[in-house]
Structure 1
Amino acid sequence: MIIDRFTMPARRATTAWGSKICKGTVSAVAAAAMLLAPSAITASAATTYSSDSSGIVGATAYSDAPRNFVINLGTTANPLKSGQFEHVVSLVQTLGAVPLAQYPQIGVLFAQSTDADFARELADQLTASGIPFHSVAASRSTDTVKKDGSDVVQGSEVVVPSATRLSGGAGGSGDEASPDATEQGETKTPDGTSQVPVNRMTIDPESDNGLDSSGISGKTAVSSGSATDPDVGDGDNAAWGIKAIHADTAYASAVSTISRTVTVGILDSGIDDTHAELKANTDSADSAGCTNNGIAQTDHASWTNYKTASGTYGDVNGNQLTGWSHATHVAGIVGAAHNGSGVQGVDPQVRLASVRIANSSGNIWSEYVVCGVMWSASKHFAVTNNSYSGFVKLSDVQGAAQYEALRRAFAYAQSQNVVVVAAAGNNNVNLDAVAPAGWRNIPGDFPGVVTVSNVELTSGNALGQLERYTGEEGSNYGAQHIDIAAPGTDILSTCPKAYYSTEEESVDTCSMTGTSMAAPHVVGVAAILRSIFPKATVDGIASMLKSEAKTEYGRLQPPNPSSEEYRGAGLVNALAALGGNTLNISGTSTRVPVYRLYNPYTKYGLHHLTTSVDERDKLIFLGWKLDGTVFVAVSKNSTNAVPVYREYNPNDGTHNWTLDAKEHQALVKLGWRSEGIAWYVRDDGQVPVWRLYNPYSGEHIYTRNMQEYATLKNNAGWRGEGLAWLGIN
C-alpha cells in the first residue's frame, strides 16, 4: 500500500508553551517517506506509468499464501464495455480466488488468492477474453525489502477457502522463510531513509512509552471539565491554532448562527465517539470501517478505535495498539464542540463521520484507503481529512497498480463534489525536488487535493508571525506542491480519556505536532465554506481557501533558504470565509443593486431594503438616510435565480425579506401582507448576506458586512439569525 504512517511526528508532553519535556520515538507517529515498489516478492521489470498504461502485471510471489490483489480494469483510451466488469469477477472466482471490494464506477476490484502466480494468471485470462486492464498486482507488497511474508494477509482477514490462518505481529507471516527470502538491494526514499518492510503505516506501541516525569503518557496534562474552552482564552494550554487562524472570532461572529450543517469524513484510525467534545457531533450513521479487506462495515466496533486489542482501555505504559488517539485528536481540531469545557474545533457545528482506514496494528493498506475514499464519495461528504502520507515511485510496477487504484478513487470522490484535504507529510523533504525523479507524495499530489504544510509560531511571538516547522520530522515543502499553510505544532485537541487518564488525573486533551494537525485546521474552514456555499464545486472551495489565505500571507516568515518554500497561497483564514470572496460562478447574471435605508426618527431605528430607485429616492426625500448598496441581487432570467419574498407587518410598520417560501407563507398566515417577490438571488452566489433580528423593535436587518453583523449580535442586543442568502460580486 501507499501509506506507512500518519503524518505526525512523535508526541511531546509540555507543561509550558514551547517547553518540550518528553519526545517519543514511536515510528507510527512519524511520517517517514514510503516507497510503493514492484511486486513484493520477486522484482518485475520497471514500467513507465501513466493513467493510460496497460498490461502492468505484478511478479510471481515467492510462496503460496493468502495475499490481496488490486485489479484496475480499462483505461481512458480503452474503457470497459458493458458486462466486462462482472465477467472479471467470475474469472477471479474461476481461478480459485475470492472477490473482495468491487467498484465498477472506477473499474477497480480487489481479490484474495493463495496462488503465488495469481496476477499473471488473471492477466492472461483478461487478455484472452479481450478485457482491457491497466494493472494487476498485490496490494500489500514491495519489491525492495526482505521477503519476510509481511505482505501476507493474516487473521480474520483470511477468506480464501482452505488457507491457513496466520497470526502474530504485523511484520511476520508465520511462514517458514523460503530459500530465496533474502534481502534485495535497498531503495532509498526521497528523505534518504531505507524503505520500510511493506507498504503500510505501522503503530508500534512497544517502541516508546512516552512517559514524562509525571508518569503520564505523551500528552499535555490538561484535565477535562475546565471552566472554559481553552481556545477562547490565552495561556499555556490554549489551542493556539484556533486563534491563529481566527476561528474563535469566526465562531463568535457568525459560524454559531449558521443553521446548515455539513459532514466531514475523518479518514484515520477511528474516532472515540464517547468523548465529551465529540459525541454530539459524531455521525454514526455515515461512519464506517474499512479494515476488513477494504470492505466497508458499519457496525460500531468497525469505525471506532480507542481500545486495546484485548478489549480493555489503553494504559500509560504504551499498550496502545488500537487505543491510539490520532483520529480523535484530528477530529477535535475540525469540530470539537463549543460547550464551555475542553477544547473547541474550527467548526463546532460540523458533523464528523469516522472512516477507519488503519487496522488494529496501525497498518494502512491500499484497499483500506480506496474503501474509505469511495465510502466518502457514496455519502457525498462535504470534505474529507486525510492526515497520512507516503511516497510512490511511478516507475515501480507494484506501486503503479496501487497508485492507479488510489488515483481513480480520489478522482471519483472529487467528481462527487467531495473536497479532499491532505497533510503534506513530515519528511522535511522538498517535494519539488523529488518530483522530477518520478516520486509522488500521496495523497497530496493527486490533482485537486488541497495539500497543507505545518507552521509554528516564531520564537517569542504571540499569535503573530509563523514559520515552517523544521524540527525533527519537519514539514515537507515545495512551491509547486504546497497549497496552503496551517498551524500544526504543539496543537491541543481531544484525546481518549481512557487512554491518557491515570488514577490520579482525568485527562481528555493532549498536544500533538505534525502536518496531521495542520490539515484539519484547513478542513474546518472548508466545512464552514461548504455550509455557506453548498453549490460551490470542489475547485471553487479550493479557490476560496487559497484566496482567503492570501490575506494572511504576510504573517508567514519567508523561507530560509528561499528554496524551502512552504507557504503556498498563505495561512488559512477562517474569518475571511464569512465575507465576500472571489468564487467564480458560471452562467449569466444581470446585476440588481439592493439599497438599504435607515429611518433616524423611529425609537429603535428602522431599516428598509429596495431595488427600486424611485422608492429609494422617495424615502430619502422623506428624511430616510441612505446606507448605500448593501449587496447585489440578480434578475429573474439570471442563471440559478431563486426568489426572495417581501412581507409587511401592518401592526408595527416593519418589513421582512426571506428566501424561505415556508417562512413567507407562515408570516402571511399570521397577518403579514405579502408584497410579492422583492428580487432574485443566485442559489450558487458568491457573497454571504447575514440576517439579524431586533427583539425590541421587531425588525430585521440584512448585511454583508461581517463586522457589522458581529457587533450588532455581540454588543447591541440583536439576535444573529445566520445566513439569509447569497449575493454576487
Structure 2
Amino acid sequence: MRRSGGRLGRLLVGAAVITATGMSVPTAATAAPAGTTGETENYLVLFKGSSSPRDAESIVTRAGGTVVANYAEIGVLVARSNNTAFDETVRANDKVEGASATTDFATRLETVEPDQDGAPSGPQPGDLPNAPATDADTFSPLQWDMRQIQAPEAHAITGGSEAVVVGTIDTGVDYRHPDLRANISDAHSANCLGGKPVPGAAAADDDNGHGTHTAGTIAAASNGKGIVGVAPNVQIASIKAATAEGYFFVEAVVCAFMWAAEQKIDVTNNSYFVDPFLFNCRNDEEQRAIWKAVQRAVRYAMQEGVTVVASEGNNSEDLSHPSQDRTSPDYPPGNEVEREVTNACVVLPVELPGVIGVTATGSTVQDTSAGQYPDNLKSFYSSYGVSTADVAAPGGDSVFFTPDSVNGRVLSTYPANQPCTRSKQEPTGEPTYPVATYCYLQGTSMAGPHVAGVAALVISRFGDLETPQNGKLRPTQVEQLIQQTADPQSCPETLPARYETVGAGSESGTPPTCQGGDGHTSWYGTGQVDALAAVTNDRSNG
C-alpha cells in the first residue's frame, strides 16, 4: 500500500531526539564544550518535571542557543543554534531530560491513493440521480459520507454555533476558498512551522491541499454552492504544522497544541503522525523523548478544554498488537530499518490517553465493484486496534466502492492552485477567485474530520456557550456522548476474498483481523459516528 504525501527535496526539521538519563551535573558546570560553528538548526529541549525551570532560557543561552519558544507550562523549549555542541551542552544540565537537533527526519500525510494495487479507478465524478435526502448545495448529492452519518438530518436541529471553534492541525487552510472563508477565524489561526506561532489565517495558508480538504469536511458553509460540512456554522482555525511537502515536525506539533490551548479552541483534528518514527517505543531514549513532548502538549490542551480527534493511519495495521515497523525512520529516504515493535511502542498522537481515535469506513451499499460485502466495512487501508479505535467514520474506499459514492472517495474543498487527480469545479463569478475546486480523496485523514465536526455539533448543542471555555463540555463528556450515540458495528462474519489480500501492504504483512464483541470492536470502536443521534443524544434516532 502506498500513502500519498510529499517527499522532501531538502533537509527539514524533524525529531532526532537524544535523551540525557542518569546525568547529574551541576548547572554551573555546563559551560559549552569547544564546539564549532555549523548550520543553524532547530532544537527541542525537554526539561525534567512538568514545567520549565526559571532559568530555562539562560540554560539555552549559555549553551550558545537562541530561544524560539518556551512552553514553560509543559517543560518544553524550542531553540536555534549554530553551535555543533549545543545539544551536548544542554544535555549535561541536571535540569534537562532530553535535547534534540530536529533535522533530517519527516513524516507523511495520512491520505492514500490505492489505484496502483490494481483496484478499479471507478467511474469519473458525476451527479447522482435519485440520491437520498441531502443538504442543498451544488455537490451535496455527491456527499455519500454526510448521508452515511446522518449529517443532513442533524442540520435540521443544529448546524453548529459560531461560538465553537475547530482547529485543523494540518498543512494550513485556503482561507480564500468561497466555501470556507466565511467560517475561517483569523484570530484563532496560526503558522507553527518554526515551533513558535505566527498568528493569522494568511500566515497559515495551505500550499499542499490536505488541510483545506479536512477543513471542508468539518465546516464547509451551507451557502447553496459546493459542499456542506458536518458543522457548517462553526468557525475553523487553521493551525499550520506541516510544510508544502506534507511533513510534520515535533516542535510544530507541540506548538499547535499549545496554541489551541491558549486560544481556547474547542476541538482539534489531527490527520497525521509525528515523525520520524511511525511507532515511538518508550524503551528507546530518543523515541521516549518525542513521546513525552507530544504527550505533555496534548495533555495540557485537554486540561484547557480541547477535545482531540486523531486518525488511526493508513497502514492496515493492528495498533493494539504491533509486531513490525518497516518504514522508520522515514527520512532521509533509504534509511528505514525493519524492526520489531511491541505494545510499548505507540503512534502519535492517536494512541495518547484521551484522544478520540478514528478508523475509516467505505460506503454502506452492499453491491460493489468487487462483489457483495458487509455494510460499513472498514476501509481496506485503515489501521485499527481494540485499545485505540474509539469510533469509525467515512474515509472512503476505492477498492470496495458503491454506486452512491461515485468513486469511493470523499469530496471536499481544495485549493484551486493545487493539483487534484479527481476533482469538481464550480464557477464563482468572482474575479479574484473565479473557480472553486473540490477534490476526491480517501484515507483516515478524511474520516477524522467527520468526528471532529460531530464533536463541534455536540458542543454547540449541549455546551454552555455563554460562559468561558471551562463552562463548556469537557473533552471526556464530548467523547462519551459521541461513543454512546455511535451506530454499533459488529465484526463481519465473512469478507470478500479480495479483502483478504489488502493486508499485504501493512507493517506486519498480514490480513486485517477484527476483534471484540458487542459494544466495542477493533475495527469500529463503539460504532460509526452518527451526527443525528449525537445532537439528539438519542441512539434510537440512528
Deviation at 1:123, TM superposition (A): 2.3
Instruction: From the superposition, tell whether residues 247 and 479 of structure 1 become closer, same or farther in structure 2 (CA, over 3 Å).
Output: same
Q: Where do residues 699-714 of structure 1 align in structure 2 (5 Å cutoff)?
A: none
Q: Deviations over 1:672-727 (max 9, x none)?
A: xxxxxxxxxxxxxxxxxxxxxxxxxxxxxxxxx989xxxxxxxxxxxxxxxxxxxx
Encode CA deviations 1:47-67: one digit per residue, 9 max, x unaligned: 89xxxxxxxxxxx99994322
Deviation at 1:408, TM superposition (A): 0.5
Deviation sequence 1:173-201 (CA, Å, 0-9, x none): xxxxxxxxxxxxxxxxxxxxxxxxx2333
Deviations 1:433-478 (A, max 9, x none): 12735220110011100000001125427999211111xxx10011
2:173 match: 271
> CA–CA distance in 1 between the matches of 2:109 and 2:453?
27
Matched, 1:139 2:96: no
Return the letter of the residue paired with 1:255: T
Report what 1:398 is aligned to.
286
User: 1:483: which partner in 2?
Assistant: 390
Letter of the 1:275 partner, please give it.
Answer: H
* One-letter amino acid of the structure 1 residue matched with residue 188 of structure 2: D
Q: Is the 1:99–1:112 contact (alpha carbons within 8 Å) kept by the matching residues of 2?
A: yes
1:411 aligns with 2:315: no
Letter in 2 for 1:134: E
| 2:77 corresponds to which of 109, 112, 117 | 109
Q: Please give the residue correspondences for 1:234-253 in structure 2 after superposition, counting only pairs within 5 Å.
A: 238-252=142-156
CA distance in 2, matches of 1:249, 1:107: 45
TM-score relative to the length of structure 1: 0.54
Q: For 1:138 and 1:467, how far apart are their aligned partners in 2?
A: 43
CA RMSD of aligned residues (A): 3.9
Alignment-derived partner of residue 88 in structure 1:
56
Q: How far 1:558 moved relative to its partner?
A: 5.6
Change (3 A) 1:112 1:302: same
How much has 1:532 moved relative to structure 2? 1.9
Q: Report if aligned partners of 2:173, 2:205 keep a CA contact under 8 Å in 1.
A: yes
Once residues 402 and 431 of structure 1 are traced to their aligned partners in structure 2, the CA distance between those partners, rounded to angstroms, is: 18
Structure index of larger Rg: 1
CA distance in 2, matches of 1:38, 1:298: 27
Q: Which amino acid aligns with 1:479?
A: V
Return the alpha-carbon distance in structure 1 between the equivalents of residues 490 and 139 of structure 2: 21
Of residues 356, 372, 376 in structure 2, which corresponds to 1:450? 356
Identity %: 31
Query: Residue 241 of structure 1 aligns to which amino acid in structure 2?
Result: D
Is residue 379 of structure 2 the alignment partner of residue 469 of structure 1?
yes
Contact kept? 2:362, 2:378, Cα under 8 Å: yes
Residue 279 of structure 2 is aligned to residue 373 of structure 1:
no
Displacement, 1:284? 1.1
- For residues 238 and 202 of structure 2, what CA distance do their matches in structure 1 show? 11
> What one-letter code is carried by the residue in structure 2 that aligns with 1:575?
L
1:28 aligns with 2:35: no
Which amino acid letter does the alignment assign opposite residue 445 of structure 2? S
The letter of the residue matching 1:133 is: V
| Structure 2 gap ranges (5+) | 8-13, 23-33, 117-121, 323-340, 397-408, 428-434, 464-471, 496-512, 516-520
The partner residue of 2:228 within 338, 344, 352 is 344
Secondary structure (helix, strand or coil) at the match of 2:254 reads helix
Looking at structure 2, the residues matched to 261 and 482 of structure 1 have their Cα atoms a distance apart, in angstroms, of 29
SS in 2 for 1:453: strand
Shift of 1:97: 1.0
Q: Secondary structure at the match of 2:79?
A: strand
Instruction: Name the aligned partner's letter for residue 394 of structure 2.
Output: P
Kindly tell me the number of residue pairs found equivalent between the two proteins: 438
2:158 counterpart letter in structure 1: V
Other-structure match for 1:719: none
Residues 559 and 565 of structure 1 are in contact (CA less than 8 Å); yes or no, is this contact kept in structure 2? no
Give the counterpart letter for 1:245 in structure 2.
I
Distance of 1:545 and 1:233 partners within structure 2:
26
TM superposition shift of 1:108: 1.0
**Is this contact kept in 1: 2:424–2:437, CA < 8 A?**
no
What is aligned with 1:296? 197
Displacement after TM superposition at 1:45 (Å): 9.0
Contact 1:46–1:395 (Cα < 8 Å) also in 2? no
| 2:96 partner amino acid | F
Residue of structure 2 equivalent to 1:685: none
Structure 1 position 236, deviation (Å): 10
Distance in 1 of aligned mates of 2:211 and 2:168:
7
1:575 aligns with 2:532: yes
Unaligned runs of 5+ in 1: 1-8, 11-24, 30-35, 49-59, 141-150, 152-197, 211-217, 306-321, 583-704, 708-729
Residue deviations 1:203-242 (CA, integer Å, cap 9, x gap) = 99xx99x9xxxxxxx996579xxxx997559999611111
Distance 2:56 2:96 in 1: 10
Distance 1:366 1:457 in 2: 34
Secondary structure in structure 2 of the residue aligned to 1:411: helix
- For residue 113 of structure 1, give the secondary structure of its aligned residue in structure 2: strand
Q: Match of 2:142, SS?
A: coil
Residue 462 of structure 2 is aligned to residue 533 of structure 1: yes
Aligned position for 1:683: none
Rounded to whole Å, the distance in 2 between the matches of 1:431 and 1:295 is 31
Contact 2:171 2:211 in 1 (8 A): yes
Tell me: higher relative CO, structure 1 or 2? Use CA pairs within 8 A at least 6 residues apart: 2
Tell me if 1:327 matches 2:327. no
CA distance in 2, matches of 1:503, 1:541: 35
1:288 and 1:247 map into 2 onto residues whose CA distance is 29
Instruction: Single out whichever of 497-506 and 412-421 deviates more from structure 2.
Output: 497-506
Q: Does 1:119 align with 2:25?
A: no
* Alignment pair present for 1:515 and 2:444: yes
Relative to structure 1, the CA distance from residue 247 to residue 115 in structure 2 (aligned partners, 3 Å threshold; closer, same or farther) is same
State the alpha-carbon separation in 2 of the partners of residues 66 and 341 from structure 1.
Answer: 47
Gap change, CA 1:526 and 1:67, over 3 Å in 2 = same
Preserved CA contact (<8 Å) 2:260 2:301: yes
Distance 1:331 1:229, change over 3 A: farther
Against the structure 1 CA distance between its residues 523 and 37, is the aligned structure 2 distance closer, same or farther, given a 3 Å change threshold?
closer
1:335/1:236 CA distance change after superposition, 3 Å: closer
Residues 300-699 of structure 1 correspond to what in structure 2 (within 5 A)? 300-305=201-206, 322=207, 324-389=208-273, 390-434=278-322, 436-457=342-363, 459-460=366-367, 465-470=375-380, 474-489=381-396, 490-499=409-418, 506=435, 508-534=437-463, 535-549=472-486, 552-554=487-489, 557=492, 561-563=513-515, 565-580=522-537
Structure 1 residue 117 displacement after superposition: 2.5
Contact 2:455–2:478 (CA under 8 A) maintained in structure 1: yes
Contact 1:283 1:351 in 2 (8 A): yes
SS at match of 2:176: coil
Rounded to whole Å, the distance in 2 between the matches of 1:578 and 1:282 is: 23
The structural deviation recorded for 1:245 is: 0.5
Aligned pairs for 1:54-203 (under 5 A) are 64-75=38-49, 84-85=53-54, 87-124=55-92, 126-127=93-94, 132-140=95-103, 151=104, 198-201=105-108
Letter in 2 for 1:452: V
* Letter of the structure 2 residue corresponding to residue 431 of structure 1: L
* TM-score, scaled relative to structure 2: 0.72
Separation (CA, whole Å) in 1 of partners of 2:195 and 2:139 = 43
What is the rounded CA distance, in whole Å, between the counterparts of 2:64 and 2:211 in structure 1? 37
- The alpha-carbon deviation at position 432 of structure 1 amounts to 1.0
Q: State the AA in 2 paired with 1:468.
A: K
Using the alignment, how far apart are the partners of 2:384 and 2:424 within structure 1? 39
Measured at CA, do residues 70 and 581 of structure 1 come closer, stay the same or move farther in structure 2, by a change above 3 Å?
farther
Distance across 2 between alignment mates of 1:502 and 1:577: 31
